[in-house]
A and B are shown apart, each in its own frame.
Chain A
Amino acid sequence: MHIPDGILDPPVCLVTGGLAAAAFGYSLYRARENLSQRMLPLTGMTASLIFAGQMVNFPLVVAPVSGHLLGGVLAAALLGPWAGSVAMAMVLFVQVALFADGGWTSLGANYLNMGIIGCWGGGAILQLTRSWFKDPVRGLIVGAVWGSWLSVLAGAALFCLEFASSTTVRGYDLRHIFFLMILFHAVIGVGEAIITSLILAFLYRLRPDLLALNPVTSSTQPTRLGSFSGAMLLLALAIAAFLSPFASSHPDGLEAVAESTKVADLSRDTWAIWWEDYKLPRFEGNWEGTGTAIVGIIGTLAVLLLTTILVRLLVRNQSAGVAPLREQA
């Protein structure tokens, strides 16, 4: 998930670094505006928690492979989108500075892909979904599942964009790698969704007061335009993930996106262009493109199913009634 140094070109690093610094500055400004100094221990502790939480491996069906928490949506749920993304910046920085995990030059890109997308976009989806549900637990779980899955996918889409913008990859066929990126991240996203919703449901059962502190998870706050547009942006990025293998088969991914959006209003023309360029049965055809579209559909269905199952399981647990922590103690 972390992009190491050497994958992205210096100009891309510079641009993503600038964007990340601006996003971090804005988050810091908003976090300090909204919260008093007393949030410092909580923010710092959440950052070290997410760092430590990534050490807990979740085994997969294939024995040696295991996944772990990424934590963007969780940070947003605990601290709100602003302080949450500050905490995520700390996590990523410490990972580079102490572990050499990720890269110094790609720190900005990593922060955008994981921190900002997870906290701003994932948090916005969580908040939006919560406001749609009467039952707070159900809203929390559904929001956590969709927020996590979509933010992981959107992060992958952003990586594809960053990678395609690097000048060294000009002239190379990137469809294959983008297909695999999206496929892997659709799976990673499911894991992240399960872990995040398990933790949030557990936290809600024992310490609901911790989740009530910030606008993302407190049910009293009205949804604002900002969070709505954030959620929509994230959704658009996730959808773009499934279109990236189509776009990248052009010599320049960015140009191709611009080109296809230019002709988007004449949808018949677009389809005609696509059909001409990639005849499906051809051997070196666009199977990655169709494959990705299929992954998208299956993935969305799988996440829908997952949402239902998790809500069933976790809400049933909830109503079975475990005494709050304080009463137990």
Chain B
Amino acid sequence: MNADYLDRYSRGTTVCHRWTVNRKLGLTFGVILTSLLIPVSLWPMQGVLLSLIFIAQTVAEIPLRYLLQRLAGFLPMVGIFALTLWLGQPGGRGGDFALNLLLRSTVSFMAALWLVNVTPFSELLIGLRRWGLPQYCVALLAFMYRYIFVIFDELERMRTARRARSFGRISLARDWGSRGQLLGMLFIRALSRAERIQGAMSARGWDGEVRTLPKTVTTTNS
């Protein structure tokens, strides 16, 4: 799995990518808060916000296909929630309310999606450290980010092996059992890996400080 599988488009070079973390986070929070504070009666304003976000996404060169894919995963969930709210009102009122909820969450989701795809995770970590998040937490996040990909690879190998061994349909109970075992085995492997890593880090004189480099410095010739 590629190391940037999760935030594929975050390492671009557009205007949006070159802004500082502070500005990007501030902008996103601003948009989300504005969207939350727009009253129900002014709902067309949400559309204005949405088109502004879409322009920002276009400037950041985030592919439309990717955005639609993420929306297709997001909308059914919130849509069902909004639909239930609407249908749950006696006499069918509450349509405006449900629509507003749907619009607000879509605007916020798109804004968050923009942020994810213009900010590499390492930059976000540096920002968090600068704002005073305890060093232990930043180290944890950095460690977690690093090993997500290793674990994903491990999981993919185990899945492939499982598919290779089991042919055809198995009963639901069997299936759950085998998936439970898969996860259990993944846990054991990963936790022994954690023990090994811990030993290796201690052996190299690890003092608890985890250092992250901004992307401009990570041009090694290895």
Contact = CB atoms under 8 A, between A and B. Distances in A.
A28 B78 CA distance: 33
Contacts of B195: 41-42
Given A45-B147, A198-B184, A177 B191 contact: no
Interface string A31-42: 010000110111
Contacts of A303: none
Nearest to A4: B105
Interface in A86-115: 86-87, 90-91, 93-94, 96-100, 103-105
B35 A6 contact: yes
Nearest to A93: B141
B88 interface: yes
B59 interface: no
A59 interface: yes
A198 B176 contact: yes
Chain A contact residues: helix, strand, loop or mixed = helix
A137 interface: no
Chain B contact residues: helix, strand, loop or mixed = helix
Interface residues of B, number: 78
B37 interface: yes
A195 B178 CA distance: 11
A7 interface: yes
A323 interface: no
A32 B137 CA distance: 11
B115 to A, nearest CB: 8
9 contacts: A4-B109, A6-B101, A6-B105, A49-B186, A90-B141, A94-B148, A103-B32, A168-B100, A169-B97
Given A5-B32, A105-B108, A10 B37 contact: yes
Contacts of B90: 173, 284
B29 to A, nearest CB: 7
Contact of B180 (A41, A99, A198): A198
Interface of B: 6-7, 28-29, 32-33, 35-37, 40, 70, 74, 77-78, 81, 84-85, 87-90, 94, 97, 100-101, 103-109, 111-113, 115-116, 121, 124, 134, 136-137, 139-141, 143-145, 147-148, 150-152, 155, 172, 175-177, 179-188, 190-191, 193-195, 197-198, 201-202, 208
Contacts of B101: 6-7, 168
Interface in A157-215: 168-169, 172-177, 180, 194-195, 198-199, 202-203, 206-207, 210
A206 B136 CA distance: 31
B85 A59 contact: no
B184 to A, nearest CB: 3
Taking residues whose C-beta sits less than 8 angstroms from the other chain, chain A's interface range is 35 or more
Interface of A: 4-7, 9-10, 13, 28, 32, 37-38, 40-49, 51-53, 55-56, 58-59, 61, 69, 78, 86-87, 90-91, 93-94, 96-100, 103-105, 168-169, 172-177, 180, 194-195, 198-199, 202-203, 206-207, 210, 284, 325
A140 to B, nearest CB: 13
A204 B31 CA distance: 48
A97 B116 contact: yes
The 3 A-B residue pairs with the shortest CB-CB distance in the complex, in nearest-first order: A176-B88, A198-B180, A5-B108
B170 to A, nearest CB: 11
Contact of A100 (B70, B148, B150): B70
A168 B40 contact: yes
B7 A98 contact: yes
A48 B1 CA distance: 15
A180 B109 CA distance: 24
A322 to B, nearest CB: 11
Contacts of A59: 172, 175
B1 to A, nearest CB: 11
B190 A49 contact: yes
Contact of A199 (B28, B107, B143, B187): B187
Nearest to B117: A100
Contacts of B148: 48, 51-52, 94
A48 B151 CA distance: 7
A99 B97 contact: no
Contacts of A199: 180, 183-184, 187
Given A40-B136, A103-B112, A45 B193 contact: yes
